Structure 1
Amino acid sequence: MSGNPYGVREVLQEATRRLAEAGLEGPRMEARRLLRWATGCDAASLLTRDELTGPELSRMQDGLARRCARVPLALIEGEAEFWTLTLRVSAATLIPRGDSETVIDTLLALRPVRSAPFAFLDLGTGTGCLLLAALSEYRNATGVGLDLSPEAAALARENARLNELDDRASFVAGNWFAPLEGRFDIVLSNPPYIRIADMDDLMPEVRDHEPHRALVAGEDGLDAYREILSGAGRFLAAGGLLVFEIGIGQEDDLVLLAAGAGFVCVAMRRDLGGIVRALAFERKI
């Protein structure tokens, strides 16, 4: 590194260059985020800084090396934004994505009464993002989040506490419906939906650093939906709603699968990229 190795401008320029060489899009933006993470400063505070301290520079170099190795930026930072929440993330869960907010948009459109005391169930909860976002909108609702991974369930509990929703949310580890009792008004799920054959085509951030059990769902990507649909009828209350996140082009197959399990599609919603990303179902009358 030429110039002052501790200088904020020099560090930012070097980081931008290395990130660009690693093939990352938006390298300057990512360099700025890494610099804010390394220093603990916001963007405005960084403008007043001329140099990094030794520990800050070491932290920046470590984060930069990890990002150039395609470790997701959210895993380096340790958190991600979802809906109106800030959530802790770890290698035990998928990183919350903006596409998944389409599930919450769909829910709000179909169940607009925010004071309703709904009982929610979030299957494959991960960080707890869907359940916690729903509870943040429905102030009298309660919910249960379930994940196969005990580490994910523990992380979701921490996120509930950090967002002051732990009095209305509980999280358990288990395989789909196995540890559950009772009925729920609304079931949400962002289950695995990637085909085995498509794994090699995923971005390295996803393929190499996020849990495969939360990504892959058999030869056609629909295995998790089959399992959920086979059991949902026993746990969904009368008039209840089932809302899925889906993969690209899966809507027609999933509508057929759901119909065979006694469900009718009542809404289909696109994400900001124009892709059908959420489907909502109710039981056939």
Structure 2
Amino acid sequence: MPPVTLAALLRDSRQRLAKAGVDDPGFEARLIVEHFSDTTQTKAITHPDCQVEAQVTKQVAEAIERRFAGEPLYRILGYREFYGLKLTLSPETLEPRPDTETLVDLVLPEVQRIAGANGHCRILDLGTGTGAIALALLSVVPQAEAVGTDISDDALETARRNADINFVSERFTALKSNWFQNVDGQFDVIVSNPPYIPTAELETLPREVREHDPRVALDGGPDGVAPYRLIAAQAQERLTREGLIAVETGYDQKAAVAAIFADEGYAALKAARDLGGRDRAMLFAFRPES
């Protein structure tokens, strides 16, 4: 392929993505071109006529073909931004999404409070995936440390890599564990974005999710809330006396999840809605009957 200008590559990419029915072709074209050409939006504005190497043009064309085939943008790029962090993705990790930042926002003040009062805060992130939740908290609270569990070796390696590139690896431990199975010690805060899609609904999910996010990170059992039962039933011995649990939930699961935790002696302290106004995260404390 002969060299083309940066402006021409952006224009062609935007037009091709628009024809493919992409919701925001301008945004996606910019991210794809910037990623493979190692340029910035500023350079596109100040130096639109700079030539792009043929190899870059080929890589951009291949990326757009992958979008045509239904592969998510951030899977193609290999990373996604989350809570100000750049997180690499891998086949066995869920792609972190803005909705999960709601969970971080909900529990962050509690982590800061505990760290301020005690000089430290131990966090357990169940089903850590990319490490998104734990690493976001560690990036804001320097006195905190976290253990992230997962059953996938691929996910654990990805979480370790993300901890390293975001400069919190000394305070993050990736542990292979099926929920609490291999976890030792007690924690001030337990966080989780567990699978919460009912099994029967998995095939109705958007193609980008259904075909590219790992099923094990989506499937919440027949009613979608099986993981919450497990967490509520087993968390107490891993919590400090004043410990807290924060979980992400499906938009229609608030009442069901609250009831599950109430049955195990937990009180719902707070709930939060995502940017779309949907119920998305809940915070619990153990409050056994006297």
Relative to the length of structure 2, the TM-score reads 0.93
Which residue number corresponds to residue 77 of structure 1?
77
1:148 and 1:111 map into 2 onto residues whose CA distance is 25
2:129 and 2:242 map into 1 onto residues whose CA distance is 26
Structure 1: unaligned runs, 5 residues or longer: none
Q: Percent identity?
A: 36
Which residue number corresponds to residue 22 of structure 2?
24
Q: Deviations over 1:160-211 (max 9, x none)?
A: 1111111111001121011111111100000100112222222211111110
1:277 aligns with 2:275: no
Which residue number corresponds to residue 41 of structure 1?
39
The DSSP-based 3-state class of the residue aligned with 1:66 is helix
Stretches (4+) displaced over 4 A:
none
Which residue number corresponds to residue 53 of structure 2?
53
1:18 and 1:234 map into 2 onto residues whose CA distance is 55
Structure 2: unaligned runs, 5 residues or longer: none
Q: Contact 2:267/2:285 (CA < 8 Å) preserved in 1?
A: yes
Q: How does 1:40-119 map to 2 (within 5 A)?
A: 40-47=38-45, 48-50=47-49, 51-113=51-113, 114-115=115-116, 116-119=119-122
Q: Which amino acid aligns with 1:44?
A: T
Moved more, 131-140 or 6-15: 6-15
Deviation at 1:68, TM superposition (A): 1.6
Q: Deviations over 1:231-264 (max 9, x none)?
A: 1112111110000001111000000011111111
Q: Which amino acid aligns with 1:26?
A: D
1:265 and 1:212 map into 2 onto residues whose CA distance is 29
Deviation at 1:112, TM superposition (A): 4.1
Which residue number corresponds to residue 235 of structure 1?
238
Q: How does 1:153-192 map to 2 (within 5 A)?
A: 153-192=156-195
2:210 and 2:259 map into 1 onto residues whose CA distance is 29
Cα-Cα RMSD: 1.7
Q: Deviations over 1:212-242 (max 9, x none)?
A: 1001111111111111112111211111000
1:10 and 1:137 map into 2 onto residues whose CA distance is 40
2:142 and 2:268 map into 1 onto residues whose CA distance is 27
Q: How does 1:190-205 map to 2 (within 5 A)?
A: 190-205=193-208
The DSSP-based 3-state class of the residue aligned with 1:209 is coil
Deviation at 1:5, TM superposition (A): 7.3
Deviation at 1:84, TM superposition (A): 2.2
